[in-house]
Structure 1
Amino acid sequence: MVLTDPDLVVRLAAKGDGVTADGRHVPMSAPGDRLEPGGGAGLIRGAHHVDPPCRHFPLCGGCQLQHVDDPSFADFVRDRVTGALAGQAVAAGVVHPAHVSPPHSRRRASLRAARFGKALHLGFASEGSHRIIDMMMCSILHPALFALVAPLRALLHPMVGDRRAVHARMTLTDRGVDLVLEGVDAEGLAATEMLTRFAQDNGLARLTLDDGYGPQTRWEPDPVTVSFGGVAVPFPPFAFLQATADGEAALVGAVCDALAPAARWADLFAGLGTFALALGEGKAVYTAEAARDLVLALKSGANRSGRRLAVDHRDLFRRPLMPEEIDRFDAILLDPPRAGAREQVLQLAQASVPVIAYVSCNPGSFARDAKLLVEGGYILESVQPVGQFRWTTHVELAAVFRRV
């Protein structure tokens, strides 16, 4: 019998710590690392421990796992999903290898800015802290977003008071970067001219301020849109969008084959229509979404496209589709928030719709909901883990269930 070295790091835990063979958690370690013998606090690096690509790591809270190599990170993404399923005693027919988005592909980010004396710091906050790491480089942001960091620092410097936090929320859209500034006081002609000049000089698609009373657009030469399946949809300021175009494509691809035979299907928690528009051409698609601004945007895009797409303003937590409504469809897709969709899943478990595609940003709530579906007579056919938040502990997935 071969005994594993108890000081050997054998896996990564859900929050990114390495775990030794005897169960100890070791921060900033990678699989294959080993604790120094004799109970020392030092770490002997293994083959999977690499130098981080960003000089701000590990202080910057934007990443937690830049010190592990790509195969180990992909294993971590996959293990997060399989571990959550095992905890609920749910078996998947196939768990595909994890899909991981490349560096410099994040198209959506929220940065913080604050003044400390004469200096203004702009970047991500340290994990579990209000400390802002002044961003001088970034290995995750799309170049179009990172290009705004230095000009934005200069813009905000005279506008941010001491110890006053400001949020800068950026999204890459069809027409360029959509920028929302929260907590900025910009009254008067001089401030307005400065903001307009900044937007023009940096080619912004839109500049919006929110001083606590709701977003106010200050610059938008053309309507801002995002596109799904070739359909342009109006984009509300900093509305939800998958973090990377690459990750979005992976999630859509993972459910494409399951939905292809369905002539009539429903997209629940539809958002701006990521899946309904990408996969709904030539189909009759019903969509349900609770956020009014997203509903109006999706309706506008759908109407202009001529798609057979019905948009319902419906809170699925308070008013889920009932089995008799569900069974009108050939398939159901749901993409709920992190809390999952327990109320809707309880109704799905009682329905007879043959196919359910479930997209999730939380393996824990997904596994809980998967157990309810399996207990209701579905099998979990396949799961595709997706790590579009590269080098973080945030894991997404797309799964396919079929009625037995």
Structure 2
Amino acid sequence: MTDSDPDIIIRIAAKGDGITADGRHAALTAPGDRLLPDGTIERGPHHVAPPCVHFPACGGCELQHLDDASLSDFVSGRVVGALAGQGVTAQAVLPAHLSPPMTRRRASLRAARSGRKITIGFAEAGSHTLIDLTMCTVLDPRLFALLAPLRDLLTLILPDKRAAHVRMSLIDQGVDLLLEGVRVEGLAADEGLGDFARTHGLARLTIDEGDGPQTRWEPEAATVTFGGVAVGFPAFSFLQATPDGEAALVAAVRDAMPETGAIADLFCGLGTFALALGAGRPVYAAEGARDVVMALKLAGQRAQRRMVADHRDLFRRPLTPVELNRFAAVVLDPPRAGAREQVMQLAASTVPVIAYVSCNPASFARDAVHLVAGGYRLESVRSVGQFRWSTHVEMVGIFRR
């Protein structure tokens, strides 16, 4: 049995299917599996028993049948493959980081009601049908523990035949819970919300009935902490999916930073990198979401950081080479679509080092082409699998002039 055997699965494609040596795709296969003539699978050494009873129906995970070695290879391969498709090669591909099970601190679930039955979970892959979660091997147990009592609460505030969003984040004070699409009518519903928040020690409970979020419970100001600085946390704002994944991304960026000089953090969000890297040095942080950048600005002022937080749409008004050339390094962490407009300006700049954090290997690779054409070399890439057992991959690429 070798890689030349046409029936052997040799790698996992970007969408999670196994690919045989002769190019056939087979779902739910692992490297080393054999695809038999009748379409069934003879399992190989990398095919393991999935840890969750809801796999593979639940759309939250696609790769629970892979062992850690194959999962790590897949996470790295997603990035290397995307770069190869654009004709870009990294000088070094660093080992992938995989987040452990049950460490996801941020999740968006769906809830639906049919009579007295409340279903809460992820949708089936390629479907709107919800899996009613009785266990979850990716969510932090503090988030999963809320699902059973939430089913009772939603009988008070979710109309029959309706669906809602359940958005949860673990922050400094505990669980921040946002319920969207519910209807709070009457004293019982109103009291039920307060009782739920108190009983389960929520950090905050926010309700959106369709006309914007309204905070119903917040005993103390909701915050998240980066680099020792607490930042106000707008309901269900962006957080890296796992604490250890965030630490891996920050470490990869920090290792690339020069010892001195001002840095720019573009698409800075709440300051994951600006605050973690900015102790003792000047930082310029730019972000297009007003509530987020205002929270960062206030936090920086309170901590007496040497930081300028700028409300700026970097798609419509990217920093120009003249502005960029003031910095010893730039950190870039754009949305999934990438940052072509800003990257084109960076490619024309003289910034010595760029740390590009991405949640989409395809858009990262497209942007990398422009940076390489502008005279940068891709020194290294490191993949981070925060969304364990999914095909979603994050990464850090270090570019140097």
TM-score (norm 1): 0.98
Q: 1:358 is paired with a residue of what secondary structure?
A: strand
**Does the CA-based 8 Å contact 1:262-1:331 persist in structure 2?**
no
Aligned to 1:162: 160
CA distance in 2, matches of 1:74, 1:262: 34
Q: Which runs of structure 2 are paired with 1:47-196 in the superposition (5 Å)? A: 47-196=45-194
The farther-off stretch of 393-402 and 157-166 is 157-166
Aligned to 1:281: 279
1:7 aligned partner, one-letter code: D
Q: In 2 relative to 1, CA 117–194 (structure 1 residues): closer, same or farther, beyond 3 Å? A: closer
Q: Which runs of structure 2 are paired with 1:1-400 in the superposition (5 Å)? A: 4-36=4-36, 39-400=37-398
1:189 aligned partner, one-letter code: L
Please list every run of 5 or more consecutive structure 1 residues that lacks an aligned counterpart in the other structure.
none
1:191 aligned partner, one-letter code: A
Q: In 2 relative to 1, CA 387–3 (structure 1 residues): closer, same or farther, beyond 3 Å? A: closer
2:222 aligned partner, one-letter code: V
Q: 2:16 is paired with a residue of what secondary structure?
A: coil
CA distance in 2, matches of 1:3, 1:154: 53
- 1:368 is displaced (CA, Å) by 0.5
- 1:247 is displaced (CA, Å) by 0.3
CA distance in 2, matches of 1:400, 1:59: 37
RMSD, matched Cα: 1.0
Q: In 2 relative to 1, CA 54–3 (structure 1 residues): closer, same or farther, beyond 3 Å? A: closer
CA distance in 2, matches of 1:117, 1:58: 27
CA distance in 2, matches of 1:128, 1:275: 35
Q: 1:157 is paired with a residue of what secondary structure?
A: helix
**Does the CA-based 8 Å contact 2:258-2:329 persist in structure 1?**
no
**Does the CA-based 8 Å contact 1:88-1:371 persist in structure 2?**
yes
CA distance in 1, matches of 2:27, 2:163: 29
CA distance in 1, matches of 2:244, 2:317: 33
- 1:316 is displaced (CA, Å) by 0.2
2:59 aligned partner, one-letter code: G
Q: 1:246 is paired with a residue of what secondary structure?
A: helix
Q: 1:333 is paired with a residue of what secondary structure?
A: strand
CA distance in 1, matches of 2:155, 2:39: 42
2:60 aligned partner, one-letter code: G
- 1:153 is displaced (CA, Å) by 1.1
Q: In 2 relative to 1, CA 115–178 (structure 1 residues): closer, same or farther, beyond 3 Å? A: same
Structure 1, residues 89-141: CA drift from partner, whole Å, max 9, x if none? 11111110110000010000011110234321111111211111001100000
Identity of aligned residues (%): 65
1:122 aligned partner, one-letter code: I
- 1:298 is displaced (CA, Å) by 0.4
Q: 1:346 is paired with a residue of what secondary structure?
A: helix
- 1:253 is displaced (CA, Å) by 0.4
1:32 aligned partner, one-letter code: G
Alignment partner of 1:401 is 2:399: yes
- 1:143 is displaced (CA, Å) by 1.0
Q: In 2 relative to 1, CA 372–119 (structure 1 residues): closer, same or farther, beyond 3 Å? A: same
1:115 aligned partner, one-letter code: R
Q: In 2 relative to 1, CA 3–60 (structure 1 residues): closer, same or farther, beyond 3 Å? A: closer
**Does the CA-based 8 Å contact 2:156-2:188 persist in structure 1?**
no
Q: 1:73 is paired with a residue of what secondary structure?
A: helix
CA distance in 2, matches of 1:51, 1:115: 32
CA distance in 2, matches of 1:216, 1:345: 38
Question: Paired residues, what number?
Answer: 400
CA distance in 1, matches of 2:275, 2:307: 9
**Does the CA-based 8 Å contact 1:270-1:287 persist in structure 2?**
yes
**Does the CA-based 8 Å contact 1:30-1:46 persist in structure 2?**
yes
1:21 aligned partner, one-letter code: A
The farther-off stretch of 258-267 and 324-333 is 258-267
Q: 2:169 is paired with a residue of what secondary structure?
A: strand
- 1:260 is displaced (CA, Å) by 3.9
CA distance in 2, matches of 1:363, 1:269: 17
Q: In 2 relative to 1, CA 133–165 (structure 1 residues): closer, same or farther, beyond 3 Å? A: same
- 1:158 is displaced (CA, Å) by 3.4
Q: In 2 relative to 1, CA 325–103 (structure 1 residues): closer, same or farther, beyond 3 Å? A: same
CA distance in 1, matches of 2:384, 2:129: 29
Please list every run of 5 or more consecutive structure 2 residues that lacks an aligned counterpart in the other structure.
none
CA distance in 1, matches of 2:212, 2:97: 37
Q: 2:80 is paired with a residue of what secondary structure?
A: helix
